[in-house]
Structure 1
Amino acid sequence: MTTASPTRPGTAAITRHHAHGEETKPSFKTTELIVYVLSVIGVLIASQVVGDGARENGADYFAADKAWWYITLLTVGYMISRGLAKAGSRSTDNDPRTH
């Protein structure tokens, strides 16, 4: 943003440039996404491994509904963390419709 404000008639105008903060990194460039994806894969693998071993004994200790519940919780946590990361950042979008 550039503003000009002359102090007195006939004097030079003062020009100020305001630096804008950069927007946060895209999600695919963050370790949050990597940890999220690895966690989801870990839950699915654990559900499959524990489920197979438990079914032989007649009980399913880590059923699919529990696995999907944990994945849902991981997803909500990931979305909240991305929201908090973007909450304090400024957008560098120059589209006048978004201002």
Structure 2
Amino acid sequence: MAHTRSRGEETKPSFKTTELIVYVLAVIGVLVASNVVGDGAANDGHDYFTADKAWWYITLLTIGYMVSRGLAKAGSRSTDRDPRTH
């Protein structure tokens, strides 16, 4: 009698990965830093870390996260048995 082995997914869902945790913490860090550095009283009224810079860094973090997830999924096996997707 032959045993059939079920092949699981090669990668975990994104919400279970450390990449998501690091991404969320990095975004929060950028937002907090932008708010703290942007306080005019602490730096003579000059806003050195403006909102547009903060959102630019968040955009770069998002692109990096999407690329890392794409690379992680690139080598994964598909377990989709739906004939419409082949």
Q: Do they superpose with TM above 0.5?
A: yes
Q: After the TM superposition, which parts of structure 1 deviate over 3 Å for at least 4 consecutive aligned residues?
A: 17-21
Is 1:71–2:58 an aligned residue pair?
A: yes
| Identity in percent | 80
Instruction: Provide the aligned length of Structure 1 versus Structure 2.
Output: 82
Is 1:26–2:13 an aligned residue pair?
A: yes
Counterpart of 1:58? 45
Tell me how far 1:18 sits from its aligned partner. 8.5
Structure 2 residues not aligned, in runs of 5+? none
Amino acid at match of 1:28: F
Is 1:94–2:81 an aligned residue pair?
A: yes
Counterpart of 2:29? 42
- Please give the TM-score of this superposition, normalised by the length of structure 1: 0.75
Amino acid at match of 1:38: L
Amino acid at match of 1:70: Y
Which has the higher relative contact order, 1 or 2, with Cα contacts under 8 A spaced 6 or more apart? 2
* CA RMSD between the two structures: 1.8
| Higher-Rg member (1/2) | 1
Tell me how far 1:70 sits from its aligned partner. 0.4
Structure 1 residues not aligned, in runs of 5+? 1-14
Amino acid at match of 1:25: K
| Alpha-carbon distance in 2 for matches of 1:89, 1:63 | 40
Conservation of the 8 A alpha-carbon contact between 1:21 and 1:89: no
**Higher strand proportion, which one?**
1
